[in-house]
Structure formats: structure tokens, C-alpha cells
């Protein structure tokens, strides 16, 4: 007794639809029930890609190479046997192209800071597939939870410079879904801004007063010292 095929399932054999350029992938098209033989046809954007015949209910395996953006289109497969009219169609699949991230850049609007000052640090990778997760470090110690950015925008943290220890070396780390691709940024250090002493204007004022006194004394010598010297002769 011939039995109609069930709707096939189209799945990636690798288990993920995240791919890199020039990657080989395999798609499996499989009807769980129905009478063999079965003919499986793979479509990309409704265009026929390939056809496979199976004498039993084993899956049809389609090998592809992702060479360009056009290979990222929507895939479906169709299963047919001797009694199915028009065949049964599967779910659709879309690949996502992932790119490695570039080295992130760590920066701040200010490189100089005073004690008891609020500052910001920004971390950004210009290239790489989103989302990108950033973590900030001071030395080897992480100083922030992971910050996941869905857009091409910098992750920003706020810091309070409270002691000389806060002037240490900062870095950030970026990673995305591209496997084994973690990148560290440049190092960044805040320098202590020179604080003008409150006593400095007072010292200058006292210095000027003393200088005027010396000049005044020098000018007074001819009027007081010399006449008294002559009077004593």
C-alpha cells in the first residue's frame, strides 16, 4: 500500500546556520514517513539547486559552498514519491554570514583626570558581525559585566577616579559568534591632571610686596642714609 510522504524537514547537518565566507555546508532534507522511492529537490529563492533520489527513507544530503552574499538566500526542499501530486515542501532556512571582529579601540574624551572625578571609557570594534560583546579590564581584573551591543556602537562604562590606583592600565576585550576570535584593545592610562595650588597666588603676592619693599628701600637710601652720613662728618 503506497503511503503519501510527510512534509520534509530541512536542517543544517552542522547544527548552525552561522557561516563564514567560502564555508562548505550540508543541508539534510528528510520525510519521516511515506512510501519510497523518494525524490528530494533543493530550492534557493524558489530556484532549483539540486535533486537527489533515495530508494528508502534516508535523508537527502545537499552539499553547498557559501561563496557570496547571494548564497545566503532562503532555502527550501521538496519531497516527492510516486503518489504525491506536486510534492510536499519543507520549512525554510536562511544562513547568517559571520565575520571576525577587528581589534577594538579603547578611548576616552579625556586622558587627564583629577582625583574624585568621573570619567568614561569607550570600546568599539569597527568590523565584525553583530552582536559584539565587550568586557572592560583594569590590569587583568575585569571591571564590568559583559556589555552586548546589537548595533555598531561603542560600549561605554563610567568610572570614578578616587585614588592613585585608579590611574592604572585599562583595556577592553571584544568577541562575537565567530569561533575562537577574541580581540584585545590598545592600553589606555589616565594621567593625573596638575592641580594649581591655592597658596600659589599668595606666594606671588608676598613676593611682589617684598620686591616693592626692596625697591622702596633702595630708592630711600639717597634721602636718609647719605644726609645723615654727611651730618656726622
Concatenated DSSP letters of the chain: ---PPPPPEEEETTS--EE-TTEEEEEEEE-SSSPSPEEEEEEETTEEEEEEEESSSPPEEEEEEE-SGGGGSEEEEEEE-SS-SS-EE---EE-EE--PPPPPEEE-S-SEE-TTEEEEEEEE-SSSPSPEEEEEEETTEE-S--EEESSS--EEEEEEE-SGGGGSEEEEEEE-SSTT-EEE---EE-EEPPPPPTTHHHHHHHHHHHHHHHHHHHHHHHHHHHHHHHHT-
∠ CA 85-86-88, nearest 5°, is 100
Q: Which residues pair with 184 in a beta bridge?
A: 173
Output 23 or 228, whichever has higher pLDDT. 23
pTM here is: 0.58
Confidence check: pLDDT of 176 > 80? yes
How far, rounded to the nearest angstrom, does the alpha carbon of residue 196 sit from its chain's CA centroid? 39
The answer on pLDDT for 196 being more than 90 is: no
Q: Over range 62-68, report the average pLDDT.
A: 92
Share of the chain above pLDDT 70, in %: 85
Residue 225 has pLDDT above 60, yes or no: no
Quick one: three-class SS letters along 18-30? EECCCEEEEEEEE
- Residue 180, pLDDT score: 82
What distance in Å separates the CA atoms of residue 79 and residue 8, rounded to the nearest whole number?
A: 6
187, three cell numbers: 592600553
Report percent pLDDT > 90 for the chain.
59
pLDDT at 86: 82
- Cα 6 to Cα 208: distance, rounded to the nearest angstrom: 101
Domains within the chain, CATH numbers bracketed: 9-98 (2.60.40.10), 104-192 (2.60.40.10)
Q: What is the pLDDT at residue 1?
A: 67
pLDDT at 221 over 70: no
Amino acid at each position: 500500500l503506497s503511503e503519501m510522504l510527510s512534509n520534509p524537514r530541512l536542517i543544517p547537518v552542522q547544527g548552525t546556520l552561522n557561516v563564514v565566507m567560502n564555508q562548505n555546508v550540508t543541508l539534510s532534507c528528510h520525510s519521516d514517513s511515506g512510501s519510497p522511492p523518494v525524490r528530494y529537490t533543493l530550492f534557493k529563492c524558489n530556484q532549483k539547486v539540486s535533486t537527489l533520489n533515495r530508494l528508502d527513507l534516508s535523508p537527502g544530503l545537499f552539499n553547498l559552498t557559501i561563496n557570496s552574499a547571494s548564497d545566503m538566500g532562503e532555502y527550501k526542499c521538496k519531497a516527492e514519491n510516486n503518489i504525491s501530486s506536486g510534492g510536499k515542501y519543507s520549512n525554510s532556512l536562511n544562513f547568517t554570514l559571520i565575520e571576525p571582529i577587528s581589534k577594538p579601540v579603547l578611548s576616552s574624551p579625556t586622558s587627564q583626570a583629577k582625583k574624585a572625578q568621573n570619567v568614561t571609557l569607550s570600546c568599539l570594534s569597527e568590523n565584525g558581525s553583530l552582536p559584539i560583546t565587550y568586557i572592560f579590564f583594569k590590569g587583568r581584573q575585569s571591571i564590568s559585566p559583559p556589555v552586548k551591543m546589537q548595533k555598531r556602537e561603542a560600549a561605554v562604562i563610567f568610572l570614578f577616579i578616587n585614588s592613585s590606583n585608579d590611574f592604572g592600565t585599562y583595556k577592553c576585550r571584544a568577541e562575537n559568534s565567530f569561533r575562537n576570535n577574541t580581540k584585545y584593545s590598545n592600553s589606555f592610562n589616565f594621567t593625573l591632571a596638575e592641580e594649581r595650588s591655592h597658596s600659589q597666588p599668595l606666594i606671588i603676592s608676598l613676593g611682589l610686596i617684598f620686591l616693592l619693599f626692596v625697591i622702596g628701600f633702595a630708592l630711600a637710601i639717597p634721602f636718609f642714609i647719605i644726609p645723615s652720613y654727611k651730618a656726622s662728618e
